[in-house]
Amino acid sequence: MLLLKTELLLKIGKIDGQAEHEIDAEGQTVTPGFVDIHTHLDAQIGWDHELRPVSHHGVTSVLMGNCGVTFAPCKPEDRELIAHMMQTVEDIPKEAYLEVCLGIGKITEVI
């Protein structure tokens, strides 16, 4: 059993007393959140401080900048160049570079 108060985990194990709200997690996996160690959020953090959609499907911690390409922080005079480079990459025909990955959203959906 887990004892939670607001969003804080207070105890794991046998719990005496009655809870205000109980969730039956029998046969389920309970996690405190997921860590995504490979992201491309370096640019996104500039306009989306909540890092959606990762925060919407269970990811609570991320590692950024590990791919050798880092967009932030950048000098103010380089912002326009970086935005242009990102647009250029988006303009590459998708059929030329097809990759298929299983997103963490699907993983968290089925476990």
Question: Where residue 111 falls among pLDDT bands split at 50, 70, 90?
Answer: low
pLDDT tens-digit readout, 33-51: 888 888 878 777 777 778 7
The three-point CA angle 42-55-62 to 5° equals 45
Tell whether the model's pLDDT for residue 81 goes beyond 80. Answer: yes
Question: Where residue 14 falls among pLDDT bands split at 50, 70, 90?
Answer: confident
Tell whether the model's pLDDT for residue 98 goes beyond 60. Answer: no
Domain boundaries, the chain: 33-110
- Separation between Cα atoms, residue 89 and residue 67, nearest integer Å: 16
- Separation between Cα atoms, residue 9 and residue 31, nearest integer Å: 11
Cβ–Cβ < 8 Å for 33, 60: yes
Decide: residue 73, CB within 10 A, 0-12 exposed, 13-18 middle, 19+ buried.
exposed
